[in-house]
Amino acid sequence: MMGKLTKVLFVAAVAILAASVTAWAGGAKERPAPVAPAASAEQPAAKQPIEITFWHHEAPAHRVAAFQSVIDRFQAQYPGIKAKQEVIMWGDAWVKSLSSLQAGTLPDFQLSIPDLTLTMYRANALAPVTSLYNELDTQYKFFPNLRGMYTHKGEVWGVPVFTMVMLMTYRPSLLKQYVGTDKPPDTWDQALAYAKIISEKSKGDVAGIGIGGAKNLMTDEQAYVFLAGAGARFFDAKGNLTFNSPQTVAALKLYKDLFQYAPKGAEAWSWGEIELNIAAGSIAMSPYFPSVQKRFAEEFDSTDYAAAHVPFFTGMSKRGTITYPNEIHVFKKTAENAERYETVKTLIRFMEQPAINAILTSGAEPGGFFPATEAAGAAPEYWNNPIVQRFEPIHRVAMEALKDYATLYGLEYDRWVNIGLGDMTGADILGEVVNKVISNQMTPEQAAEWGQKQMEKFSAPVSE
């Protein structure tokens, strides 16, 4: 039934039309002035911007600023989308993610590491991102060892945004002063000899090597450099535990031999102590992320900082080191809303553009964060960073390691083979194994056996 307002508008329109026709028929010289339409009783509301929130765990102010710079550029290009970053400290990431899942307060997506992604997958919180990964891989080409770190049951569960890689970092001036050459060691036997010479000649003022021995993630990371070089693995290709092996024992023996030339107190070190001591000239070499470039450039105005490929392990023809990618995983609740999910994918695509990605790598932490794709690794925006230009050889070596031999513990295969890995690394079993060896609580053989027994508590092989 026609409403009262509609009837009024209809009658008015008929009257206007009739008058117009009469005027034209009568030869009027002027057309009647147009009549403005009556205002509608209800105007449609303007579409509100879509607001998306993501978490990351990079608290330093310059890293937060880098993310904000990306957000600002994104919102300028997509004014209908509002993006918000929230920083959750790494120490709180696991608890916060799981508690927010229970409370229904997760963000739209999170920057993560493979260990945390595995944990959230097992909590049934994630949506696969296979098609997006394939699209970006075709366009930008992810480094080859990354896909397997996120592949499970035919799906991909994370999209790498940037990565980290450990190299043999060193102070050329200290090698020259105590060893007589500024060339880094090419084998671990040579590194052990260098460490001994430096520690003895400096009478303890300079430690030959910087490695940690605490039960923490940094020790996990450094110890894996030795395990990877020795050919040791947590699992075989079927997900069976293989930690207790001659290769693991050999790696632990070398770690212990080197540790005698580490600074006093290194059994309690974490990342900060390594970085402070290499910057202070208190250690000459360290298998570590080459992430102190910003300090050397801006605070010291010095280039007395370098990095080389990780040394070869005795009898091995391939090097080994760790890469720790930072990827995006998307939560199920986001993917359930098609428009929201597509909006999130738009932001991820934006972050992966090589020119934008450079803001999150060389712009955020030169030497700390590296591109995850070959395209971003070749982008002028990455290489034109003044700190990158100053330490260019380090970045060349890092790109080679990422393409050739850098891997991550338990994720060396083309798919997940044991989804208990996240709980194993969360318990810092590898770090505790090292601690027991360097503190003489156990022999390398005993520690390898003990470590495997601890891992058995969490082991969950995947049958595919």
If phi over 0 gives left and psi between -120 and 50 gives alpha, with beta otherwise, what is residue 342?
Answer: alpha
Residue 291 and residue 329 in one domain: no
Residue 340 and residue 209 in one domain: no
Question: What is residue 464's predicted lDDT score, i.e. its pLDDT?
Answer: 61
Full domain range(s) for residue 122: 50-164+324-392
Residue 380 and residue 428 in one domain: no
Residue 300 and residue 177 in one domain: yes
Question: What is residue 221's predicted lDDT score, i.e. its pLDDT?
Answer: 96
Residue 2, in any domain of the structure: no
Last residue of a domain, one of 392, 419, 438: 392
Min mean pLDDT across 32-41, 188-197, 292-301, 390-399 is at: 32-41
Question: What is residue 463's predicted lDDT score, i.e. its pLDDT?
Answer: 77
Residue 181, in any domain of the structure: yes
Residue 305 and residue 417 in one domain: yes
Min mean pLDDT across 22-36, 78-92, 397-411 is at: 22-36
User: Does residue 289 or residue 18 have the better pLDDT?
Assistant: 289
Neighbours of 176 (CB within 10 A): 13
Question: What is residue 10's predicted lDDT score, i.e. its pLDDT?
Answer: 35
Spatial distance between the Cα atoms of 433 and 115, rounded to a whole number of angstroms: 19
Residue pLDDT, tens place only, 19-28 = 333 333 333 3
Q: What is the mean pLDDT of residues 27-38?
A: 41
Residue 404, in any domain of the structure: no
User: Does residue 314 or residue 257 have the better pLDDT?
Assistant: 257
Residue 429 and residue 365 in one domain: no
Question: What is residue 37's predicted lDDT score, i.e. its pLDDT?
Answer: 44
Last residue of a domain, one of 392, 424, 447: 392
- Mean pLDDT over all residues of the chain? 91
Residue 17, in any domain of the structure: no
Last residue of a domain, one of 392, 425, 444: 392
Residue 342 and residue 432 in one domain: no
Residue 440, in any domain of the structure: yes
Residue 328 and residue 302 in one domain: no
Question: What is residue 46's predicted lDDT score, i.e. its pLDDT?
Answer: 56
Residue 157, in any domain of the structure: yes
Question: What is residue 6's predicted lDDT score, i.e. its pLDDT?
Answer: 37
Contact by Cβ (8 Å): 233, 212: no
Residue 155 and residue 171 in one domain: no
Residue 231 and residue 354 in one domain: no
Total-model pTM: 0.88
Count of the separate structural domains present in the chain: 2
Residue pLDDT, tens place only, 322-370 = 999 999 999 999 999 999 999 999 999 999 999 999 999 999 999 999 9
Residue 297 and residue 185 in one domain: yes
Spatial distance between the Cα atoms of 372 and 114, rounded to a whole number of angstroms: 14
Neighbours of 269 (CB within 10 A): 22
Residue 183, in any domain of the structure: yes
Question: What is residue 48's predicted lDDT score, i.e. its pLDDT?
Answer: 84
Residue 114, in any domain of the structure: yes
Residue pLDDT, tens place only, 115-150 = 999 999 999 999 999 999 999 999 999 999 999 999
Residue 312 and residue 220 in one domain: yes
Question: What is residue 91's predicted lDDT score, i.e. its pLDDT?
Answer: 85
Spatial distance between the Cα atoms of 66 and 357, rounded to a whole number of angstroms: 10
Q: What is the CATH number of the domain that holds 423?
A: 3.40.190.10
Residue pLDDT, tens place only, 373-383 = 999 999 999 99
